[in-house]
Structure 1
Amino acid sequence: MHVAIVGAGVVGMTTAWRLASEGHEVTVLERRDGPGEETSFANGGQLSYSYVAPLAGPGVLSKVPGWLLRRDSPMRFRPSADPAQWRWLLAFARACNAGTSDATTRKLLRLAFHSRDLMQAFVHGDEARHEETLGHVPGGGFDFARRGKLIVHRDAAAFDAARRLLDYQASLGCEQLALDRDACVALEPALERIRGEIAGAIHTPSEEVGDCHRFCVALARLLQGRPAVQLRFGTRVTGLKRAGANGSTRVTGVHTADGDIDADAVVVAGGIGSVPLLRPTGVRPMLWPLKGYSITVPIADGMRAPHVSVTDFANKIVYARIGNTLRVAGMADLVRGGPTIDGERVAALAAQTHAVFGIGGGIEAGQDALQPWAGLRPATPSGLPLIGESRVRGLWLNLGHGALGFTLAMGSASLLADAMAGRESAMDARDFSALAA
């Protein structure tokens, strides 16, 4: 079967890798000049399999007013006249309850653990022995490493609540430990600067990191060696080809600025840009961009950068050592517009990095050395991605992973491939059904 895949971010590239591995003819279409150059380019870098709880949690709505009043808030909201924004917000508010959040978390954990197993197989399997592609370097050519993760709590009540969740998380397959202040700093000495502010931390030894962009590039190099695969970068998809009428419409390929491409199936994995592409088919996924930011700080000799991945729970900022850099990421801006970089948000990340570790803040080599980035993370209100066949025959979706695209990509690609093959999957595909979009 010939499958056209729209989008070469981490979700699109893992989908291409999986389908090609199963013998399908695959054509990847991407408007950028290479893979992983938009939302996947400089994300948080954490493969955070045990921390997939959705943004729509039972305590979120009460925090929003306080967040909106802070200039350095982890969340910003700018209302627009777009009805889609208000529909998304209403659905998000409805999902902010314990029952929905717990059910979503269970589903996402199953997908995350499946992704973890597949990533381990990728890094340590046959692909890791391709010197010309993955380079025979530690981390499979994309600085993959198992560093573990610390969720650092500054508030005693928040830490107590996190500790109460340990047994529940363990029942779902998570292996975690609660650490007091001294144990936390003993594990990660770079946190010494804020020792007095730490109430405690939750440690998950199995969590991993990697460079998402370089992972996409590694997949592209592997795929380029396959005769049944075409990677068409710099190709803008202008529409979806359709045949039939009166309720029997079928997608038969794509229109591009360089001509039409016929396909037996089309997988749309283009992030937030997929919404206008899908609209003429009647498929309307409820996605909204959560704009996130990151800085990438070079680690010079003598810097006290963390080795363990760290999440500052109060400020919703993540820190991940990727090779010889420290990736700092956070923020969720519900705003219109593209991935333009807001200097104030970047400055907030730099200031927090300096406050916690004494590095960042533009002090070492000037603000340019911090490599600022912004990306639009395509999120559903519930936090569940849409994976599978749409209501239109021949049209498949792999969308809506929010901030978890890197974490969930391998499992999502596997789930989609299972559905396309009509075989039973490792999890219930109905949990991520795209039919309602």
Structure 2
Amino acid sequence: MNEGHRHVLVIGAGIVGLMTAYFLRRDGHTVTVVDRNAEPGLETSRANGAQLSYSFVAPLADPAVLPKLPSWLIDRDAPLNFRLRADPAQWRWGLAFLKACRRETVHRTTRDMLELGLASRALLREMVAREGYAFDFSSTGKLLVYQDHAAYALACRQLQMRDATTGGQRILSRRDCLEMEPALQAGGHGIVGGIFMPEEDAGDCLKLCVQMHRQLSAAPHNVTFRFNTEVRGFRFSGQQVVGLETDGPSLSADAYVIANGLGAQKLGLAAGFNPMIHPLKGYSLTYELTEKSRAPARSVSDIHRKVVYARLGNRLRVAGMVDIGDRDPGVTARRIDLLKSQVNALLPELAPAAQPKVWAGMRPARPDSTPLIGATPCGNLWINAGHGMLGFTLAAGSARLLADRLAGRPCAVQRHAFALH
């Protein structure tokens, strides 16, 4: 092995773990990926919202959410539902979330995530061109539609105050929105205006995971994958990790990366630090389209209902809801019924081939919505986790940042951004 090249063991074969393996391998490291599932991408990456929202990265924690907290606790049909539990970890996360609602915190985290999002856009597009990945990837932009005059006016003012990083975003009238997306004409009665973001992308995250696994497994990459392997903890020698404890044989390497989403919380605690990662449950529907379907040709975000629509070839992915405090990974029928009714209201002429495929998943979120990317208190243990609802969007930039920090290279983002403090 060349000087500076190491054997790195990546925990997690979702989109963040696979991207991490990809960039570490490009740096010349020998890489092993470990995952508890039988195949790549079977948890949060499986059927997420499919939008790559590089410029729309505002954190969930924001001063504007504070007046909405009572409704989140009471209204079971609210886009965000907060279920209080007798769980100290939830209370600690909730208090940290409230603290992160300060304007200065929101400004800093939005700036950092925008920087990471724009880096991710450039890296992912370069990867698609270089590797020829086929995952229903499209660069047709995203349309934000507003049904509240005050929210629309605020969004317009904020856009006008931003700098050149907005990438050609433009304000649209109601008429402009309906002309851009004729599929909205039948159900878009309440739309008052919109914002078009031309530099946003969409794609099928699971398809990309499958293709990356196939590519990385083969020569010349020769990344080793160990599926059906649950990582239970670490073996230490002083402040160094010397091996992984699994439900099978112990595994060892020169360096280790925690990149298994929600599972990073347990492993972080086992290593002596608290990543503050909590599950945010969300839902998606995937519709097969027909020649008669009137579906959006590009991504659409219904800001009022907080539902996103992404076109994936002859399919339409719809995703929404945030349930905090629900740790059951199964589908909640009431939430799915609500999501279906929202689709029917906005797209009454969708005319799909059949009932949609239903999915529920847990997004691994931190209180201020920023992931942890970099070193941990253990000298050869690293982390790339806690991306919340933006794992797919930020995966490429996060993996490149992790590889840069592991190599000791200058990084493309702020020096202390996303670091564990």
TM range (shorter): over 0.9
Aligned pair count reads 415
Equivalent AA in structure 2 for residue 154 of structure 1: Q
Equivalent AA in structure 1 for residue 171 of structure 2: A
- Alpha-carbon distance in 2 for matches of 1:429, 1:79: 36
- The question of whether the paired residues in 1 share the 8 Å contact of 2:287 and 2:352 is answered with no
- TM-superposed deviation, 1:69: 3.5
- The question of whether the paired residues in 2 share the 8 Å contact of 1:149 and 1:311 is answered with yes
- Alpha-carbon distance in 2 for matches of 1:252, 1:172: 44
Q: Find the counterpart in structure 1 of residue 234 from structure 2.
A: 240
- TM-superposed deviation, 1:173: 4.0
- SS of alignment partner, residue 162 of structure 2: helix
- Alpha-carbon distance in 2 for matches of 1:64, 1:316: 16
- Alpha-carbon distance in 1 for matches of 2:70, 2:144: 24
Q: Find the counterpart in structure 1 of residue 3 from structure 2.
A: none
- TM-superposed deviation, 1:392: 1.2
- Alpha-carbon distance in 2 for matches of 1:356, 1:152: 11
- SS of alignment partner, residue 136 of structure 2: coil
The superposition leaves residues 271-313 of structure 1 with CA deviations (integer Å, 9 ceiling, x where unpaired) of: 1112122222212111111101001011112111101211110
Alignment of structure 1 residues 50-129 onto 2, 5 Å:
50-125=55-130, 127-128=131-132
- TM-superposed deviation, 1:172: 3.6
Q: Find the counterpart in structure 2 of residue 136 from structure 1.
A: none
Q: Find the counterpart in structure 1 of residue 195 from structure 2.
A: 202
- The question of whether the paired residues in 1 share the 8 Å contact of 2:17 and 2:259 is answered with yes
- The question of whether the paired residues in 1 share the 8 Å contact of 2:283 and 2:360 is answered with yes
- Alpha-carbon distance in 1 for matches of 2:47, 2:282: 10
- The question of whether the paired residues in 1 share the 8 Å contact of 2:167 and 2:199 is answered with no
- SS of alignment partner, residue 372 of structure 1: strand
- Alpha-carbon distance in 1 for matches of 2:110, 2:161: 11
Task: Please say if 1:354 is aligned against 2:338.
Answer: no
Question: Which of 389, 393, 399 lines up with 2:379 in the alignment?
Answer: 393
Among the aligned pairs, what percent are the same residue?
Answer: 46
Q: Find the counterpart in structure 2 of residue 337 from structure 1.
A: 327
- Alpha-carbon distance in 1 for matches of 2:83, 2:41: 28
- Alpha-carbon distance in 1 for matches of 2:235, 2:263: 17
Task: Please say if 1:41 is aligned against 2:46.
Answer: yes
- SS of alignment partner, residue 328 of structure 1: strand
Task: Please say if 1:424 is aligned against 2:415.
Answer: no
Alignment of structure 1 residues 148-167 onto 2, 5 Å:
148-167=141-160
Q: Could you say if the C-alpha distance between residues 53 and 261 of structure 1 is closer, same or farther in structure 2, counting changes exceeding 3 Å?
A: same
- The question of whether the paired residues in 2 share the 8 Å contact of 1:338 and 1:376 is answered with no
- The question of whether the paired residues in 2 share the 8 Å contact of 1:253 and 1:265 is answered with no
- Alpha-carbon distance in 2 for matches of 1:258, 1:383: 34
- TM-superposed deviation, 1:218: 1.1
- The question of whether the paired residues in 1 share the 8 Å contact of 2:240 and 2:379 is answered with yes
Task: Please say if 1:298 is aligned against 2:288.
Answer: yes
Unpaired segments ≥5 residues, structure 2:
1-5
- The question of whether the paired residues in 1 share the 8 Å contact of 2:31 and 2:224 is answered with yes
- TM-superposed deviation, 1:101: 1.1
Q: Could you say if the C-alpha distance between residues 173 and 198 of structure 1 is closer, same or farther in structure 2, counting changes exceeding 3 Å?
A: closer
Alignment of structure 1 residues 161-310 onto 2, 5 Å:
161-226=154-219, 228-244=222-238, 249-310=239-300
- TM-superposed deviation, 1:97: 2.5
Equivalent AA in structure 1 for residue 231 of structure 2: V
- SS of alignment partner, residue 225 of structure 2: strand
Equivalent AA in structure 1 for residue 137 of structure 2: F
- TM-superposed deviation, 1:169: 3.2
- The question of whether the paired residues in 1 share the 8 Å contact of 2:288 and 2:352 is answered with no
Question: Which of 372, 376, 390 lines up with 2:358 in the alignment?
Answer: 372
Equivalent AA in structure 2 for residue 303 of structure 1: S
Provide TM-score, normalisation by structure 1: 0.92
Q: Find the counterpart in structure 1 of residue 14 from structure 2.
A: 9
Task: Please say if 1:320 is aligned against 2:310.
Answer: yes
- TM-superposed deviation, 1:269: 0.6
Equivalent AA in structure 2 for residue 342 of structure 1: T
- Alpha-carbon distance in 2 for matches of 1:70, 1:312: 19
- The question of whether the paired residues in 1 share the 8 Å contact of 2:116 and 2:394 is answered with yes
Greater Cα offset, 422-431 or 184-193: 422-431
- TM-superposed deviation, 1:151: 0.9
Q: Find the counterpart in structure 1 of residue 29 from structure 2.
A: 24
- Alpha-carbon distance in 1 for matches of 2:360, 2:80: 14
- TM-superposed deviation, 1:192: 0.2
- SS of alignment partner, residue 69 of structure 2: helix
- SS of alignment partner, residue 317 of structure 2: strand
Equivalent AA in structure 2 for residue 169 of structure 1: R
- The question of whether the paired residues in 2 share the 8 Å contact of 1:4 and 1:253 is answered with no
- The question of whether the paired residues in 2 share the 8 Å contact of 1:353 and 1:359 is answered with no
Moved over 4 A (4+): 363-366
- TM-superposed deviation, 1:171: 4.2
- The question of whether the paired residues in 2 share the 8 Å contact of 1:106 and 1:172 is answered with no
- TM-superposed deviation, 1:174: 3.5
- The question of whether the paired residues in 2 share the 8 Å contact of 1:272 and 1:287 is answered with yes
- Alpha-carbon distance in 2 for matches of 1:284, 1:381: 12
- TM-superposed deviation, 1:170: 3.1
- SS of alignment partner, residue 71 of structure 1: coil
- TM-superposed deviation, 1:116: 0.3
- Alpha-carbon distance in 1 for matches of 2:412, 2:352: 48
